[in-house]
Structure 1
Amino acid sequence: MKLFTRAHQLPGRLAAGAVILNSGMGKVNADEAAAAGVHGMATTAYPFLGKLDPQQFTRLLSRAEIALGTALLLPVVPSLLAGAALTGFAGGLVGLYLRTPGLRREGSLRPTPQGIPLVKDIWLLAIGLGLVLEELADREADQY
């Protein structure tokens, strides 16, 4: 079995993968109230998601988190692919933080106490970008 992950990439992939997988597993059996809460927060930042039923949205989100978490945990998944998926997912979370009223201090990027749990998702974006940039730089270096 060939590994597509470098050893120094494993800590970030494992940390992000475990957190995201756990989040997805926690939503698998979300009841109606929990699904409505998750969906409500998402639609505040991304109104187009309002077209989805809250339980359907939460099931889809759960599956996406489980798939992404698993991809990050499996070293046979190429880091460029896992990093790109993580970057997209984390970008959505950071967008949620930036677009949801009450999570940031007025006129600032600094979080309010309510925003701290979401602003911490910036580390997921950093890990994803790090994986993607390293893989792209290595590909470019291999051309010369």
Structure 2
Amino acid sequence: MTTGCAWRSALARQLPLRLTAGTFFLSSGLSKIGADEATAEGLQQFAATAYPFLGGQDARKFVRLLAAGELAIATALLLPVVPAAVAGGALTAFSVGTLGLYLRVPGMREEGGLRPTEQGIALAKDVWLLGIGVSLVVDDVNERR
């Protein structure tokens, strides 16, 4: 169990990471809540390109679930009572999914490499989310030792 002083120290260390990623996810989740049918279909079709099992879902339901997931991650990151390992684990899992899109959707990367195309930059930059998520998990695990 961590002491109050150690907990505050860990929170101070993690705060920039949690605020940065948390506000990003809050904004992204809120923007998807009222998505119109065309936006919902576009997002679902894009995701289904990399993850075909998503193609059979209702597009509006898919976007509502995506928004709810993003808002749950935002909440976990922004509420300091949520352990960093939990928030970081959720962020890591989500970022692995978005990086999967980057790796699987045609046109996101230059031929034969990992370097992003102009279209792929939006997903390739999500590697910072993976770094933040893993850092939060590692920091929490080390703090508990």
TM-score (norm 2): 0.91
Aligned to 2:73: 68
1:111 counterpart (103, 107, 116): 116
1:133 counterpart (131, 138, 141): 138
CA apart distance, 1:134? 1.8
Matches within 5 A, 1:41-120: 41-120=46-125
CA apart distance, 1:51? 1.8
Aligned partner of residue 38 in structure 2, secondary structure: helix
TM-score (norm 1): 0.92
CA apart distance, 1:124? 0.4
Q: Percent of counterpart pairs with the same letter?
A: 55
The RMSD of aligned alpha carbons is 1.4
2:34 and 2:88 map into 1 onto residues whose CA distance is: 28
Aligned partner of residue 72 in structure 1, secondary structure: helix
Aligned partner of residue 66 in structure 2, secondary structure: helix
Tell me if the contact between 2:83 and 2:140 (Cα under 8 Å) persists in the aligned partners.
no
Structure 2 runs not aligned, ≥5 long = none
The one-letter amino acid paired with 1:90 is S
2:37 and 2:58 map into 1 onto residues whose CA distance is: 10
- The structure 1 segments of at least 4 consecutive aligned residues displaced by more than 4 Å after TM superposition are 2-5
2:12 and 2:66 map into 1 onto residues whose CA distance is: 29
CA apart distance, 1:138? 3.2
Aligned partner of residue 6 in structure 1, secondary structure: helix
Structure 1 runs not aligned, ≥5 long = none
